Structure 1
Amino acid sequence: MRINNKNRSLAVSTVDQKSETIPADTGLLAPNPNTRFATLFDEKNPFLPERGGELQQVQVAYETYGNLAETGDNAILICHALTGDAHVGNNPQQGDLPGWWVEIIGPGKSLDTDKYFVVCANFLGSCYGTTGPVSINPKTGKRYDVDFPEVTVRDMVRVQHALLQQLGVREIAAVIGGSLGGMQVLEWAVMFPEMVRRIIPIATTARHSAWSIALNETARLAIMNDPDWQNGNYDKQPLRGLSLARMIAMISYRSQPSFQERFGREEVDLVKLNGSARILNDQPPRFQVESYLRYQGIKLVKRFDANTYLTITRAMDSHDLSRNREPLTVVLSNISAKTLCIGISSDVLYPPHEQREISENIPNAEYREIISEHGHDAFLIEFDQLNKMVSEFLVS
C-alpha cells in the first residue's frame, strides 16, 4: 500500500539509476524518536513459526500514543499493511514527523489519544525494525535473507499478542487495520476472542483470492527474475525487480477512473524527464502514467527490501480464516467482537463484496463503504470519511 514516508525515506529518486547501487540493508528507515523496541522469546522459549523453523528471539519495533489505563483495557491496536511500519501518529514534543495515519490519531480524532492507548507494531517478517529477512541470524552472524522462516498472518498476530502482554495490555478496545492489516485484525478476533472487544477490518478479505495471489506471484517473479536478486543472496537491492513488483502492485492499489482522471493520455515532457523515470534502463516513458509507475517503483526500492517483499506477500497468500479450521461461514459466525467492516467503492484488489461477505456472516457486524475513485489506497487518503465511520462506531 502507499505509505507516506516521503519525509523519512533514505534517499530521493532523482538520480540516474544506471550508475546507482542500493545496499541490501536500505529497507530500514531512519530511526524515529518515538519508536521503541521489545525483545520477545528466548532460547528456552523460542518463537516457532506456524510452518516450521525457529526464531530464538524476536525484536519488535513499535510505537505508542496516549496512556495505558491502570485496568489495562483501553488499548487500540493498529495493524499496518504490506510496506508499512509502526510510525502511524505524531509526537511533536519528541521531534516526530507525521506518521502514515496521523490524520485519525490524536486528541479529538477517531483514535483519541486522550482516551485510548494506541499501539502499532511493525509485524514479524518486515524490515522496519522487527525481526525479518534483513535481520542478523544469530547462528550465522549474517542476514537471514532467504533463510528466514516462512511466516503467516497468524504468526504476525502471535508476536503482536506477546508484545501487548509485555506492555501490560489485558483487553483491547479495538483492533483496526487496512489491507494486510485487516487480515491481522480478523485473525485477532479468531485467535484471541477473549481479549478483543471490537474490530475494524478495512479493505480486506477473509481469505486471499486467486486474483490477489496472482498479482502477488507476478510481483515475486519480477523480483526473482532480476539477475541482481542472486537467489536471494544479494549485496545490493535487485532494483529492477523490486521496482517492477511495486509498479504491478500500484495498479491494483488504484482504479481505472483515478488513473484516467489524473493522467488520461497525457504525454511526458522529455525535456524535463530525469533519470528516476528510467529505472528499468530501457526507453524513456511516453505517457505520464508510465512515468508515475516508474517513480513509485524507485521510491519503494529506496525504503524496502526485496526478500522482505517475497516473505510478506507469501504470508498474505497464506491468509484464509478457515485454513485448518471449520468452514469460513462458521469461523466468521463464531466471532464475538463487535465489528465494523469497511469497504471501498472502487477497490479492485479486495472488492466491496469481500467485505460484505465478512460483515454478513459475523453476528454483531455492520458494513460501511468509503465512496472514492482512489481505489484500494482510499483508506490512506479519504480521512474525513474514515474518521467519521470509526468515531461513530467506537461510541456506538
Structure 2
Amino acid sequence: MIDCKIFDLGDVTLQSGATLRDAKLAYKTYGTLNADKSNVIVYPTWYSGQHYDNEWLIGEGMALDPQKYFIIIPNMFGNGLSSSPSNTPPPYNQARFPHVTFYDNVAVQHRLITEKFGIEKIALVIGWSMGAGQTYQWGVSYPEMVERIFPFCGSAKTSLHNIVFLEGVKVAIQTDEAWQGGWYKEQPNKGLRAVGRVYAGWGLSQAFYRERLYLQQGYSSLEDFLVAFWEGFFLRKDANNLLAMLWTWQNGNIGNTPGFDGNFEKALTAIKAKAIVMPGETDLYFPPEDNEYEVEYMPNAEFIVIPSVWGHFAGGGINPVDTQFIDRHIKELLDSKV
C-alpha cells in the first residue's frame, strides 16, 4: 500500500495536443498548513522517483521541517503513481501513453495547490534532477506565486550532451527483444539491467570510482555495486514508465512555456523568485557551467556549487556531507526576505 493521496484531474489536454482522460495526480503532504497559508513548500519528484524517495531531505531540525512547513510532494506523470503508462487504461496505455512536458506537470500541480488547498503563495519550490526542471518551470509559469526556488543538480533546459546520454538509456530498453515495441507482457529485464549499467557511468563521477567509495556503502566489489545497486535499482521500475519520463526529460526547456516562443533566455529573465541554483561540482548530466549560464539571466539568483565527488548523486541523499551542505543553504534561502 503506497502512502499517498490521489487528486482527480479529470480530462487534461497536454502541450502535445493529446487529452489524458480521467488523469490522476498522486501526492503526499508533510506537516500542517498554517492559518494564513504562508508556510508552503512544493517538492516535485525526479526521474523514476516517487514521493518517499524525496523524504531524506525532510525532518525535524532540517530546512524542510514538517513542524514548521507544509510540504507537498507531487508525483510526476509517468512515475507509476500519478497517471503513467503502467496504470492508464486503453487506449493511452503502455506504448500509447502521450508525451508530457514539465509545463504539463507543473500546470496540474498548480491545480492541486490552488483547487485542493486554496494556496495563493508558495514559500519555496525545490527539486533535484528532473525535480529541478519542474522547479524552474514553477518559477516561469507562476512568477507571482512562487517566492523562492532551489533547483539542485538539474537544469532549465536539457543540454545536447544530456540528450545523448538518455539515448543510451532508451536504446538499452528498446533493443531487448522482450520490449515488444512497448507492448510487453513481462518487463524487459535484460534491458532494465542494461539501463543500470549505462547509468552507473553517468550518475557518479570518475573520482567516485577512483576512490572506490562504493566500498564504504557496503558493496564488496565494483561488480557487486553494479549488480546490487544499479541493476537492482532499475529492475524495480516499469520500462514504459521510464521511457515516458525520459521523453519529458529530453524535451525539458522552459523556453517552450506558452508566451516565450522557445526563447530560453527570455523565460529565465521572467523568473522573479529569489533563487539558489546549486549544481554538483562533478555532475556529468548537469555540469555547473550550464547553471552558471542560467543564473546570468535570472534577476534574483545565486550560484553555489556542491563540492563533491558524488557526481549527480551529490543531490541524491546518499552522502551525509553533501546532504548537510544542501540543507544548510536551503535554510539560508528560507530565512531570507523576499
The alignment's TM-score, normalised by the length of structure 1, stands at: 0.78
CA drift of 1:352 comes to 0.7
| Separation in 2, partners of 1:384, 1:51 | 40
2:106 matched to 1:157?
yes
Q: Which segment drifts farther, 144-153 or 292-301?
A: 292-301
2:145 matched to 1:209?
no
For 1:67, the equivalent position in structure 2 comes to 32
Cα deviation 1:328-349 (Å, max 9, x = unaligned): 2222122111111111111111
Cα deviation 1:122-148 (Å, max 9, x = unaligned): 111221x211000131x55xx810011
For 2:23, the equivalent position in structure 1 comes to 58
Cα deviation 1:31-51 (Å, max 9, x = unaligned): 244x2222112xxxx201111
For 1:239, the equivalent position in structure 2 comes to 189
Cα deviation 1:14-58 (Å, max 9, x = unaligned): xxxxxxxxxxxxxxxxx244x2222112xxxx2011112111212
| Separation in 2, partners of 1:220, 1:392 | 39
2:21 matched to 1:49?
no
Cα deviation 1:277-301 (Å, max 9, x = unaligned): xxxxxxxxxxx43442233343134
Aligned 8 A contact 1:208 1:320 in 2: yes
For 2:76, the equivalent position in structure 1 comes to 123
Of 310, 335, 338, the residue aligned with 1:395 is 335
Cα deviation 1:345-370 (Å, max 9, x = unaligned): 11111101111112221111111111
Distance 1:305 1:326, change over 3 A: closer
SS in 1 for 2:135: helix
For 2:175, the equivalent position in structure 1 comes to 225
2:227 matched to 1:294?
yes
Distance 1:296 1:195, change over 3 A: same
Aligned 8 A contact 1:263 1:289 in 2: no
The residue identity in structure 2 corresponding to 1:56 is R
Distance 1:377 1:263, change over 3 A: closer
The residue identity in structure 1 corresponding to 2:288 is P
Superposition map of 1:1-396 within 5 A: 31-33=1-3, 35-41=4-10, 46-88=11-53, 100-102=54-56, 104-127=57-80, 129-137=81-89, 139=90, 144-165=93-114, 166-262=116-212, 288-323=221-256, 325=261, 327-380=263-316, 381=319, 382-396=322-336
The residue identity in structure 2 corresponding to 1:308 is N
| Separation in 1, partners of 2:261, 2:283 | 28
| Separation in 1, partners of 2:240, 2:295 | 34
Which ranges in structure 1 are unaligned for 5 or more consecutive residues? 1-30, 89-99, 267-272, 274-287
Distance 1:136 1:332, change over 3 A: closer
Distance 1:105 1:326, change over 3 A: same
| Separation in 1, partners of 2:247, 2:24 | 21
Aligned 8 A contact 2:195 2:234 in 1: no
Aligned 8 A contact 1:206 1:321 in 2: yes
| Separation in 1, partners of 2:233, 2:60 | 31
For 1:281, the equivalent position in structure 2 comes to none
| Separation in 2, partners of 1:112, 1:327 | 37
Distance 1:357 1:101, change over 3 A: farther
Distance 1:214 1:395, change over 3 A: same
Aligned 8 A contact 1:224 1:241 in 2: yes
| Separation in 2, partners of 1:52, 1:295 | 41
Aligned 8 A contact 1:170 1:195 in 2: yes
| Separation in 2, partners of 1:222, 1:32 | 29
The residue identity in structure 1 corresponding to 2:70 is F
| CA RMSD in angstroms, aligned pairs only | 2.0
| Separation in 2, partners of 1:260, 1:176 | 31
CA drift of 1:263 comes to 6.8
| Separation in 1, partners of 2:224, 2:65 | 39
Sequence identity (%) = 30
SS in 2 for 1:370: coil
The residue identity in structure 2 corresponding to 1:350 is F
SS in 1 for 2:226: helix
The residue identity in structure 2 corresponding to 1:251 is G
Aligned 8 A contact 2:32 2:66 in 1: yes
The alignment's TM-score, normalised by the length of structure 2, stands at: 0.91
Which ranges in structure 2 are unaligned for 5 or more consecutive residues? none
Aligned 8 A contact 1:189 1:337 in 2: yes
